[in-house]
Amino acid sequence: MKTQVGIIGGGPSGLLLSQILHLQGIESVVLERQSRDYVLGRIRAGVLEQGTVEMLRDAHVGDRMDREGLVHDGFHMAFGGQIKRIDLEGLTGGKTVMVYGQTEVTRDLYDARDQIGGVVIDEADDVTPHDIDTDSPYLTFHREGNAERLGCDFIAACDGFHGVGRQSMPKDVLKIYERVYPFGWLGVLSETRPVDEELIYANHERGFALCSMRSPKLSRYYVQCALDEDLNEWSDDRFWEELKLRLPEDAAARLETGPSIEKSIAPLRSFVAEPMSHGRMFLAGDAAHIVPPTGAKGLNLAASDVYYLSRALIEQYKTGDESRLRDYSKTALSRVWKAERFSWSMTMLMHKFPDQGEFGAKMQQAELDYLTSSSAAMTAMAENYVGLPF
Ligand code: FAS
Ligand code: PHB
Side-chain-side CA neighbours of residue 288 (13 Å): 33
The band of 24, judged by pLDDT with boundaries at 50, 70 and 90, is very high
Cβ(44) – ligand 2 distance below 6 Å: no
Question: How many whole angstroms separate alpha carbon 357 and alpha carbon 326?
Answer: 47
> Is 45 a pocket residue for ligand 1 (Cβ < 6 Å)?
yes
For the Cβ of 352 lying below 6 angstroms from any atom of ligand 1, the answer is no
47 lines ligand 2 (CB under 6 A): yes
* Per-residue pLDDT reduced to its tens digit, 263-297: 999 999 999 999 999 999 999 999 999 999 999 99
Residue whose CB lies within 8 A of the most ligand 2 atoms, among 197, 222, 346, for a mutation test? 222
- Please, what's the largest Cα pairwise distance for the chain? 63
307, 267 Cβ separation under 8 angstroms: no
Q: Which protein residue has the closest C-alpha to ligand 1 atom 51?
A: 285
Q: What is the pLDDT of residues 189-233, one digit of tens each?
A: 999 999 999 999 999 999 999 999 999 999 999 999 999 999 999
- pTM of the predicted structure, to 2 decimals: 0.97
Whether residue 181 lies in the annotated active site: no
Q: Of these residues, 12, 137, 292, 293, which one is catalytic?
A: 293
Average pLDDT over residues 25-35: 98
Say how many Å lie between the CA of residue 376 and the centre of ligand 1: 34
Find out whether the beta carbon of 212 lies less than 6 Å from any atom of ligand 2.
yes
Mean pLDDT along residues 302-314: 98
Q: What is the 3-state secondary structure (H, E, C) of 69-89?
A: CEEECCEEEEECCEEEEECHH
Q: Residue 174: CB partners within 8 Å, gap ≥ 6?
A: 166, 273, 274, 275
So what's the pLDDT on residue 130?
98
What number is the average pLDDT over the span 46-64? 98
Which atom of ligand 1 is nearest the CA belonging to 305? Answer: 51
Average pLDDT, integer, range 113-134: 97
Atom of ligand 2 nearest to the CA of 213: 2
Q: What is the C-alpha to C-alpha distance for residues 324 and 314, in angstroms, rounded to an integer?
A: 10
386/375 Cα distance (integer angstroms): 16
Percent of the chain with pLDDT over 70: 100
Q: Which of the 8 DSSP states describes residue 117?
A: T
pLDDT confidence of residue 297: 98
Average pLDDT on 172-194 reads: 98
- The closest-lying atom of ligand 1 relative to the alpha carbon of residue 12 is 52
Q: Model confidence at 55, in pLDDT bands (50, 70, 90)?
A: very high
Ligand nearest to the CA of 33: 1
Residue 326 pLDDT = 98
- Counting from 1 in the atom list of ligand 2, the atom nearest the Cα of 99 is 2
Taking the mean position of all CA atoms in its chain, how far away is CA 230? 25
Q: Tell me whether residue 362 is one of the annotated catalytic residues.
A: no
CB of 97 within 6 A of ligand 2: the answer is: no
**How far is the centre of ligand 2, averaged over its atoms, from the C-alpha of 47 (Å)?**
6
Is the Cβ atom of 305 under 6 angstroms away from ligand 1? no
pLDDT of residue 128: 98
- Using the atom order of ligand 2, give the atom closest to the CA of residue 297: 10
pLDDT-based confidence at residue 343 (cuts at 50, 70, 90)? very high
Tell me the ligand closest to 385's alpha carbon. 2
- What stretches of the chain adopt beta strand conformation (E)? 5-8, 28-31, 47-48, 70-72, 75-79, 82-86, 97-99, 119-121, 125-130, 138-143, 146-151, 154-157, 175-190, 200-202, 209-215, 218-225, 260-274, 277-278, 281-283, 289-290
> What is the predicted pLDDT for the residue at 334?
98
Q: Is the CB of 127 under 6 A from ligand 2?
A: no
Q: 100, 138, 201, 328: which is the annotated catalytic residue?
A: 201
38 is catalytic: no
Mean pLDDT of the chain: 98
Does the C-beta of 220 come closer than 6 Å to ligand 2? yes
12, 22, 72, 138: which one is catalytic?
Answer: 72
Domains of the chain in start order, with CATH, are 5-72+96-177+270-347 (3.50.50.60), 180-268+352-386 (3.30.9.10)
State the pLDDT at residue 3: 98
pLDDT of residue 346: 98
Residue 47: half-sphere exposure toward Cβ, Cα within 13 Å: 23
Task: Given the residues 22, 297, 351, 352, select the one marked as catalytic.
Answer: 297
Q: How confident is the model at residue 352 (pLDDT cuts 50, 70, 90)?
A: very high
Per-residue confidence band for 7, with pLDDT thresholds at 50, 70 and 90: very high
Percentage of the chain lying above the pLDDT 90 cut: 99
* Structure confidence at residue 23 (pLDDT): 98
